[in-house]
Structure formats: C-alpha cells, structure tokens
Amino acid sequence: MDMAETAHATPLRPSLHPLLIAPAAALLIAACATDFLYSQTLLFQWDNFSIWLITAGLVLAALAGLALLLDVARRRIGTLAWGRFAGFTVAALLSLLNAFVHSRDAYAAVMPEGLQLSVLVTVILLVLGWRGWSLHAVRRAHPSRPAGARS
C-alpha cells in the first residue's frame, strides 16, 4: 500500500463510538438470552433481567450516538458507513420497541413479541458486529488486491 491508500484505510485518531457500541450490543444480545430463558422456565425474574439489560443497552447506545457526533465533529472518522449506521439505528429502535413490549405484565411481556424482537435485534447486531463495531467507512484504492500485496 502506498501513502494515499494508507490514509484512506485507517482513521488518524482512535474513534470513541466503537468503545460504547460493543458493550451496548452485548447487553442487547444478553437480553435475547434472558428472554429465551424466560420462555423456557416462566420464572418472572428472567423478564426483569431482560428489561434491565435492554434499558442499559439503550442507554449505552444513546451514549454511543453522542460519541459518534463527537467523533464526526472532531474529524476522528472520515466517511460514515451509512449502511452500518442504518443497521445500528434499526437495532436501537427495535430495542426501544422491545422495552415497551417488556413493560407489559408477565407472560404477555415476553411471549411471543418480546422474544421475537430480541432475536431480530440479536441477528442484526451479530451481522453488523461481524466486521467490527466502528461506523467508519474503510476504503481501499484496490479492493480486489489484499492489503499486504505489493505490485
């Protein structure tokens, strides 16, 4: 890679938002596990754990959004990956809806809508997280050539 490619491949300074997106995603994925446990055992405490995990995940997601604004304002990231941004936004909005679903009483709080929303959010986050938690768009001048290959 030459200097021009390197400048586009990595941000100059570390971004703040990935440090908050990852734990928020972990909490929302954990809520799926507690919803599943509730569906199997019907122990009400699993429903309590789920709403706590969803709430904490949403708080961290909101902080990640603020950190993203700070990263953009301080030019810590170049181009924003709009597809990934949309995916994380959809996951956060579905989690907000899931928090409202979980505010209902007992069995109706989780079965079946709460569990379905948790599974959907988990799938979205696992797909998005497969390539990392940053919203920075990485571009290379020669995408067909591996990063370490030289001509």
DSSP string, 55-102: HHHHHHHHHHHHHHHHHHHTT-SSSB-HHHHHHHHHHHHHHHHHHHHH
State the Cα–Cα distance between residues 24 and 22, nearest whole angstrom. 5
> Is 93 within a domain?
yes
Q: Which range has the worst mean pLDDT, 18-22, 118-122, 145-149?
A: 145-149
Cβ-proximal residues to 55 (8 Å cutoff; 6+ apart), any chain = 99
Average pLDDT, the chain: 82
Say how many residues make up the chain: 151
> Is 24 within a domain?
yes
Structure tokens, 134: 């940053």
What percentage of the chain carries pLDDT values higher than 90? 48
State the Cα–Cα distance between residues 124 and 144, nearest whole angstrom. 27
> Is 120 within a domain?
yes
> Is 110 within a domain?
yes
CA Rg, the chain, in Å?
A: 19
Owning domain of residue 79: 16-129
> Is 148 within a domain?
no
133/98: higher pLDDT: 98
Domains identified in the chain, total number: 1
Q: Which range has the worst mean pLDDT, 20-34, 58-72, 106-120, 134-148?
A: 134-148
Cβ-proximal residues to 26 (8 Å cutoff; 6+ apart), any chain = 57
> Is 99 within a domain?
yes
Q: Is the pLDDT of residue 9 over 60?
A: no
112 preceded by a cis bond (ω within 30 of 0): yes
> Is 45 within a domain?
yes
At 100 the pLDDT is: 93
Q: What is the mean pLDDT of residues 112-134?
A: 90
DSSP for residue 78: S
Structure tokens, 42: 């019907």
Q: Is the pLDDT of residue 4 over 80?
A: no
107/18: higher pLDDT: 18
- Give pLDDT tens digits for 61-118: 999 999 989 988 888 887 888 888 899 999 999 999 999 998 887 667 778 899 999 9
> Is 25 within a domain?
yes
